Amino acid sequence: MTKRPLVLAVDVGTTKVSALVGEAQTDGELTVLGVAASPVVGMRRGLVFEVERVAMAIRDAVNRANSMAGTDLTQAVVAVNGDHLAIEAGQAGVHLKSGTVSPEDVERATRKAAQVTLPAGRETVQVIRRGLAVDGFRGVVDPVGMVAHQMDAEVFVVTGLTTVIRNLRRVVSMAGLNAALLIPAPQASADAVLADDEKQVGVVHLDVGGGTTGVTVYRGGHLQYLGVVPIGGESITSDLSVGLGVVTTQAERLKLEYAAVGVEREGTLEVRAVSGQSVKVIPVKELQEIVAARVDEWVGLVESHLSRIEWAKGPAAGVVMTGGGALLKGLRSFLESRWGWPVRLGAPIGLGGLSDLSRSPGYAVVVGVARDSRMYGLRSETESVWKRMVQMWLALWN
């Protein structure tokens, strides 16, 4: 009997923890066997602030996903998020002694390219392939077996703050799991929803969550940029709560019902004040202005990330948004007219099994984490990091 390649993916988001048990196929398809989400308190802007409460939410979501799937998985692939994530470009070449490229040469070149010098307190989260060159010819997809003297590898090393990563591992282990592999959340989300041809021609992906917005840019089939803005839908909710003097739950309800970008609305609404039972009447316009101010700040920060990319004509495949915050009314058309690029909502693709729930934009990260686990190879305790890199490269080519 062959063992099924089951994977447990966990995304500890700012507003919810999602867990997914799936079977990641070699062709990139993902069969979903169990999926669940639990609301979480104790996270801020993608980072863990209250370990006990976060661990409880993880335990709950994972238990439900495991029981749906009839599994008891404890080795988890976990998304890492937060504006501490950064990318470093690495490049290195190796001389090919045998005259042909072997998988070990690829591994050697990759390992060398990934040896970027990190400042104190930072560590590598993931190494992402950008390209390979054989005797100076760039863009070689599968160089194994090619005759050559020299092979060069280009990588992006996604790095994060060690303290933040330690705390994430800690809550995962308090929930009875082992974080066997970490995947940057913005990358996972993009991998869940973007088609290969979009990554080829050029695309911007935004995962607009509760406390963060992941920004990734792809061109030529590879990642060109990854960054995180520490603002999401929750920021609008808390602004409304403070600005209108209402409790968070009411602010959230008002946001879902009335908040819209780029829309002028007349009329008033009645809200219950935080203190006491008094009812206040406020113009809808006041609510819209609070929303607009935060969206303005948000879009400015997103643009400061996008300005680090050199565009000839903008992303040919436009902008794809995921995450619950992307559902804010009017946001899509607001961005379209501001940037002049097509903007669409993305949903996870290539799913089978219990795919209905996991197809919604808020599940893109957990789906992508499950799918990426196959590509990056799960690390077991006895395996070295270099063996894992070989597996990663072999998986990319097979």
Nearer to Mg ion, 82 or 209 (CB): 209
**Measured from the CB of residue 10, what is the shortest distance to ligand ATP in angstroms?**
12
Alpha-carbon distance of 362 to 192, in angstroms, equals: 11
Q: How far is CA 90 from the centre of its chain?
A: 21
- Give the burial class of 212: count Cβ atoms within 10 A of its Cβ; 0-12 exposed, 13-18 middle, 19 or more buried: buried
The interface mask with ligand ATP, positions 316-355, x = CB under 6 A, is -------xxx-xx---------------------------
The contact mask relative to Mg ion for 205-244 (x = CB under 5 A, - = no) is: ----x-----------------------------------
| 304/289 Cα distance (integer angstroms) | 23
Report the relative pairing of strands 178-184 and 75-80 from DSSP bridges: parallel
Q: Is 13 in the site for ligand ATP (CB under 6 A)?
A: yes
Instruction: Give the nearest distance from C-beta 258 to ligand ATP in angstroms.
Output: 10
Among left, alpha and beta (phi > 0; psi -120 to 50; other), residue 316 is alpha
- Asked if 14 is part of the footprint of ligand ATP (rule: CB under 6 A), the reply reads yes
User: What x/- string results for residues 169 through 208 when contact with Mg ion is judged by CB under 5 A?
Assistant: ----------------------------------------
- For 208, residues 6+ apart whose C-beta sits below 8 A from its C-beta are 232, 233, 321, 322, 323, 324, 325, 326, 328, 331
Local structure of residue 378 (DSSP, 8 states): P
- The beta strands (E) that lie in the chain are given as 6-12, 16-24, 30-39, 43-44, 47-48, 75-80, 86-95, 122-134, 137-138, 150-161, 178-184, 203-208, 213-219, 222-229, 268-272, 279-283, 319-322, 343-345, 351-353
Q: How far is the CB of 95 from ligand ATP (least distance, A)?
A: 44
Q: Which residue has its beta carbon closest to Mg ion?
A: 209
> In this complex, which beta carbon is closest to Mg ion, that of residue 188 or of residue 389?
188
Residue nearest to ligand ATP (CB): 209
From the CB of 284, what's the least distance to ligand ATP, in Å?
Answer: 16
d(CA 230, CA 215): 11
Minimum CB distance to ligand ATP, residue 271 (Å): 17
Q: Which two tokens stand for residue 93?
A: 């070449």
Q: Does residue 90 interact with Mg ion by CB under 5 A?
A: no
Q: Among residues 13, 90, 211, 233, which is the contact residue for Mg ion, using CB under 5 A?
A: 13
Q: How far apart are CB 186 and ligand ATP at their closest, in Å? A: 9
- Of 62 and 390, the one with the shorter C-beta distance to Mg ion is 62
Residue 178, helix vs strand vs coil: strand
- Tell me the closest approach of the beta carbon of residue 313 to ligand ATP, in angstroms: 30
Q: Interface residues with ligand ATP (CB under 6 A)?
A: 13-16, 46, 81, 209-212, 232-234, 237, 252, 255-256, 323-325, 327-328, 362
Q: Interface residues with Mg ion (CB under 5 A)?
A: 13, 209, 365
